[in-house]
Amino acid sequence: MSKIKTTYASLSLDLDNKWSYLKTHGNSKWEAFPSYFDVVVPRFLDFFEERGLSLTVFVVGQDAVLEKNHAALKAIADAGHEIGNHSFHHEPWLHLYSPVELEREFESSESAIQEVTGKKTIGFRGPGFSLSDEVLRTLVRRGYQYDCSIFPTYLGPIARAYYFFSARF
């Protein structure tokens, strides 16, 4: 009798849109909210469907309020993937927000994402792995089951420092 080998893994995707990178780098073209969802979303949906895998997709609330993204975001949820919250404004300095700003950020993203996908978010990942004690307290108050904003390597802080040093704000 052969033993069945089981492998476990957790798969996730931060669905950062083109505009979010432009914004972080100080490029004013972000204000038009350019998107590449029409290319990216069908590709990863096909990839995971072919392999019989599901993942958690962390969605930015700002993308959920834009009608041009509704079909792509709904397709992700309809394919059975978990929908997580990746903030509303996708600002890597989220950890610097005040408690009031955090509440507003989470309320906005949660309602926009749920309206489009039909899914309530129970998981969170901060943009740029942004995390603070206040972010965690806010998540607990709002009923989140998990946060995965920690970048599990000593290279995370170095990469973040380089990114902010080289970005044009």
pTM for this one?
A: 0.87
CA distance 69 to 35: 8
* pLDDT at residue 10, rounded to an integer: 83
In a domain, 130, yes or no: yes
Is the predicted pLDDT of residue 151 greater than 80, yes or no? Answer: no
In a domain, 66, yes or no: yes
In a domain, 23, yes or no: yes
Give one DSSP letter per residue of the chain, joined into a string.
-PPPP------EEE---HHHHHHHTT-GGGGG----HHHHHHHHHHHHHHHT---EEEE-HHHHHSGGGHHHHHHHHHTT-EEEE--SS--TTGGG--HHHHHHHHHHHHHHHHHHHS----EE--GGG---HHHHHHHHHTT-SEE-----STHHHHHHHHHHHHS--
CA distance 38 to 109: 21
Q: Which amino acid is at 143?
A: G
What angle is formed at CA 70 by the lines to CA 66 and CA 74, rounded to 5 degrees? 150
In a domain, 6, yes or no: no
In a domain, 4, yes or no: no
* pLDDT at residue 129, rounded to an integer: 85
CB of 64 closer than 8 Å to CB of 116: yes
The pLDDT tens digits for 59-92 are 999 999 999 999 999 999 999 999 999 999 999 8
* Residue 61: CATH number of its domain: 3.20.20.370
CB of 121 closer than 8 Å to CB of 113: yes
Domain of residue 85 covers 12-166
In a domain, 102, yes or no: yes
Provide the mean pLDDT of the chain: 90
Joined tokens for residue 6:
């089981």
In a domain, 58, yes or no: yes
Count of domains observed in the chain: 1
Residue 83: half-sphere exposure toward Cβ, Cα within 13 Å = 27
In a domain, 106, yes or no: yes
* pLDDT at residue 160, rounded to an integer: 65
